Amino acid sequence: MTRQKSVLITGASRGIGAETARVFAAAGYAVAVNYHRSEAAALALVDELTAAGHTALAVKADVSDAAQVRNMVDNVLEIFCQLDILVCNAGISWEGLLTEMTEEEWRRVFAVNVDGVFHCCAAVLPRFIHGKAGKIITVSSMWGQAGASCEVAYSAAKAAVIGFSKALAKEVGPSGITVNCVAPGVIDTEMNAHLSPRDLNALREETPLERIGTARDVAESILFLASEGADFLTGQVLCPNGGLVV
């Protein structure tokens, strides 16, 4: 009998992370659903998955806090005994003119989007290196590739995630670990709830595939990067963006 593989997905209480949890559970993984504030949503997702016969647990941690992340990883390892895949998905955006951004707001964007990825990778890597196996998938954004007006901090943070993923891929490749990144386009989640129908329509029209992406579109890319089919891929950026940035 083959051992059930396990995955830890950060920011899995809603949006892309929650859909990634569903897709991995359906593929047979035991799923650890990380959340920070949305406890009710995370617990409801775990109930949904366990009711469908899957293995799932909810783990609270603010990814910007290294100690909370270490505790979370310890808890997951205690319950699942093993961790095969880490998905660094938790993220926040901030919109506005750079000249109106406070230092505190700038630091928070980097603390969650960049430090969060560092804390999670640092917490799982000793295990992955010891086992000479493991796959890390980070979540950047097309704005980390192209840059977005009024999202300078977010764009810079997401560009950092791409640089981090490429460099770490080189560092841990000899230990049998892959590190890849997804850089989604415009995806229909709460993160874009502030966009007006007019803005969304303009983005849809600019997208060669003529639609806004779904959380499922991104989740399927992440699942692929975790699969055996991606065993020889590392340091790559996969872009579920409908062709908006090529």
Q: Which residues bind ligand NAP (CB under 6 A)?
A: 10-11, 13-17, 34-38, 62-64, 89-92, 112, 139, 141, 184, 186-187, 189-192
Distances (CA, A) of 53 to 5, 50, 175: 15, 5, 34
Residue 128 CA neighbour count, 13 Å, CB half? 28
- Provide the sign of the torsion angle of the four alpha carbons 123, 191, 35, 77, taken in this order: negative
Report the alpha-carbon distance of residue 16 to residue 72 in Å, rounded.
20
- The smaller minimum CB distance to ligand NAP, of residues 119 and 135, is found at 119
What minimum distance in Å lies between the beta carbon of 174 and ligand NAP?
A: 28
CB burial string 122-139: b at 16+ within 10 A, e below: ebbbebbeeeeebbbbbb
- The smaller minimum CB distance to ligand NAP, of residues 10 and 234, is found at 10
For the chain, the residue count is 246
Q: Which residues are catalytic?
A: 154
Q: Is 137 helix (H, G, I), strand (E, B) or coil?
A: strand
- The smaller minimum CB distance to ligand NAP, of residues 206 and 231, is found at 206
- The smaller minimum CB distance to ligand NAP, of residues 133 and 146, is found at 146
Residue 117 tokens read as 């990825």
Helices 152-172 & 116-131 angle (0-180, nearest 10): 10
Q: Is 237 helix (H, G, I), strand (E, B) or coil?
A: strand
Task: Return all residues near 43 (Cβ < 8 A) that are at least 6 apart.
Answer: 58
Residues 66/122, Cβ–Cβ less than 8 Å: yes
- The smaller minimum CB distance to ligand NAP, of residues 133 and 191, is found at 191
